Structure 1
Amino acid sequence: MDKNRYVDLLVDFSFKKIFGTDTNKAVLIDLLNTIFEGKKVIIDLVYNKNEHHGDNQEEGTAIFDLLCTGDKGEKFLIEIQHSKPSNFKKRSIFYTSRLISEQAPKGKMKEWAYNISEVYFVAIMDQKETNDTADKLISDGRHLHDICLCYRSTGEIFYEHLGYTYIDLTNFALTLEQCSSKLDKWFYHLKNLQNMASLPNGLEKTIFELLYSIAEYTKLSKEEQDMYDEALKRKWDNVAVMTEARESGEARGRAEGERNKALEIARKMKADGQPFELILKFTELSAEEIEKL
């Protein structure tokens, strides 16, 4: 395997290594604060359970359950995950519901009075959405989706302490030179760090200098390199399988569309009393298909 200087941040192993360890939490804090854009300001965080889900090994997701402390002393929970997009809406609701329900003390509900902490969910997606229309985000090309509970009729926020942020990097297409904000630069590096040759000018003495220093492939131990290589191979294999499936589905869709068009033409030609042989010639349908119309 060809080795890039820097690891791919969106491979499960390296995502956990860079963002899921206490020694690197300054990097994750900066990323989250940049995403929240002042709505929340994290000054410290604790990893409650790295990958607490463990319910389905086929998910292949990296999930962090975080207890955060804000600049006003408030405590709140964040679930951050790098995940495949299938069923992500339902999974988002499931994970945040669990974070909320797990706060309930055993046998002391009356004294507790539902004094729940704020809960936020952040998902970073780098694969195309599935064909499940119920699971699709708004298809307007945006790469950042900020979602909350609100009144359907007015848009007024109903409850401000539960929020969902979806980052769809498949829609992020800026070059580094086009990135005008820190948020854009973070998205760029999440998607493209593995293709960089060195730290770009202008990013010295920033959080990105730290990111580059800890994301070098050669800084991994031999065991970690083997684990990363295997995880990277799995990612490539999954992408190849998904690409083949998508292209196969598109081809089937085109073929079905062409057949439906031919059937419609055949119906019209039969209604007009056109000769059977002429219908066969122009539609390329079988005689049996035409007879059934």
Structure 2
Amino acid sequence: MEDLANKYIRFDWAMKRLLRDKANFGVLEGFLTTLLNEEIKINKLLESESNQEDEFDKQNRVDLLAENDKGELFLIEVQNNSEYAYFQRMLFGTSKLVTEYINRGKGYGLIRKIYSINIVYFNLGNGTDVVYHGKTEFRGIHNGELLNLSPFQKQKFNVDAVSDLYPEYYILKVNDFNKWSKVPLEQWIYFLNTGNIPADATAPGLSEAREKLQLVRMSKAELNAYYHHLDNVVILRDNIVTARGEGRLEGHAEGLEEGRAEGRAEGRAEGRAEGRAESKLEDAKNLKCLGVSMDIIAKATGLSVEEIAKL
């Protein structure tokens, strides 16, 4: 029988089953505190149209919506499958939350602050970093000046910058990060990718994860469901690797064919150009034999007087 000691539940499965329990909020709070570099206390979990699952999503996606003690919203999503329009998906999720959590007729000043946190297990976009952060700022197109809040707005909304009023996005590309580090955020990314928590982990929330997310705490039925989920994840990852390999091969073949086509096209173009040049020389010869002046032949053929004289 498999030794379950010192083995931990993957974060996406924990989000489905365990982290929704208030007793386990410490894991989520530690993760958010590490990512945002400020202490986060979760008040409650919420449901929204944005984080409802369909049958396909149950295999490759899980998300969770939390509210902290300041009323800010945290949409945490784990995506196992490659999705080319994922950036737009992030935008859709925050846009839905903006409208869902303000009642019609209420002032815009009551719109919630939203953090969209995306843990992706595929190569999203073209970049080499592991963590990306996006926020909204307004800068002058002439002088590059950052547009700031007025003193009244700062007091009214209790924030320091315009970007504090808009959704912020975090993307954690964890799939290839497997090096243990002393940096708390990198410790979390290591856990998100490998499922391991070394004994010297110091990042907030990982000590709680070590206690709450042990496989030995699961029943036999829960373990079976969990292993089924892991099998689906492996299949999804294999599909991504296969698609990458096939894409490279197809791209190579297409490149060769395009090269051949370009060669044929260039050859035809060069042939036509050479044909036109020879035709001009022949026309110039005939006109010269008829006694037409050099200047007129030059205008008719585009050849120089010197070229015509050599014929």
The TM tier, using the shorter chain, reads 0.7 to 0.9
Are the structure 2 counterparts of residues 220 and 268 from structure 1 closer, same or farther at C-alpha, using a change threshold of 3 Å? same
Residues 66 and 77, structure 1, Cα contact 8 Å, conserved in 2: yes
Amino acid at match of 2:182: S
Q: 1:36 — aligned with what?
A: 36
Q: Which of 70, 74, 79 is the aligned partner of 1:78?
A: 74
Residues 51 and 65, structure 1, Cα contact 8 Å, conserved in 2: no
Residues 66 and 79, structure 1, Cα contact 8 Å, conserved in 2: yes
Q: 1:184 — aligned with what?
A: 186
Length-normalised TM-score, structure 2: 0.69
Q: 1:125 — aligned with what?
A: 120
Per the TM alignment, residue 96 of structure 1 is displaced from its structure 2 partner at its CA by 1.2
Q: Which of 51, 54, 62 is the aligned partner of 1:53?
A: 51
Question: Take 1:44 and 1:271, find their aligned partners in 2: how far apart are those partners?
Answer: 69
Question: Take 1:191 and 1:29, find their aligned partners in 2: how far apart are those partners?
Answer: 19
Q: 1:247 — aligned with what?
A: 245
* Structure 2, unaligned runs of 5 or more: 147-160, 272-311
Task: Give per-residue Cα distances to partners, 1:42-82, cap 9 Å, x unaligned.
Answer: 1233111389632643233111111111xxxx321111111
* Structure 1, unaligned runs of 5 or more: 130-135, 274-293
Task: Give per-residue Cα distances to partners, 1:155-196, cap 9 Å, x unaligned.
Answer: 8364323211111113535x21xx131111111111112xx4
Q: 2:131 — aligned with what?
A: 144
Residues 48 and 66, structure 1, Cα contact 8 Å, conserved in 2: yes
Residues 51 and 62, structure 1, Cα contact 8 Å, conserved in 2: no
Are the structure 2 counterparts of residues 185 and 117 from structure 1 closer, same or farther at C-alpha, using a change threshold of 3 Å? same
Q: 1:9 — aligned with what?
A: 10
SS of the aligned residue for 1:81 comes to strand
Amino acid at match of 1:169: V
Bigger shift: residues 201-210 or 143-152: 201-210
Higher strand share: 1
Are the structure 2 counterparts of residues 43 and 268 from structure 1 closer, same or farther at C-alpha, using a change threshold of 3 Å? closer
Number of residue equivalences = 248
Task: Give per-residue Cα distances to partners, 1:205-248, cap 9 Å, x unaligned.
Answer: 97433312322222111111111011111111112222222211
Are the structure 2 counterparts of residues 245 and 49 from structure 1 closer, same or farther at C-alpha, using a change threshold of 3 Å? same
Length-normalised TM-score, structure 1: 0.73
Instruction: Write the mapping of 1:1-293 to structure 2, written as runs, cut at 5 A.
Output: 5=5, 6-7=7-8, 9-10=10-11, 12-38=12-38, 41-49=39-47, 53-54=51-52, 56-59=54-57, 60-69=60-69, 74-83=70-79, 84-86=81-83, 87-106=85-104, 109=105, 112=107, 114-129=109-124, 136=125, 139-151=126-138, 153=141, 154=144, 156=146, 158-161=162-165, 162-170=167-175, 172-173=177-178, 175-176=179-180, 179-193=181-195, 196=196, 200-203=198-201, 207-268=205-266
Per the TM alignment, residue 151 of structure 1 is displaced from its structure 2 partner at its CA by 2.0
Residues 184 and 204, structure 2, Cα contact 8 Å, conserved in 1: no
SS of the aligned residue for 2:163 comes to strand
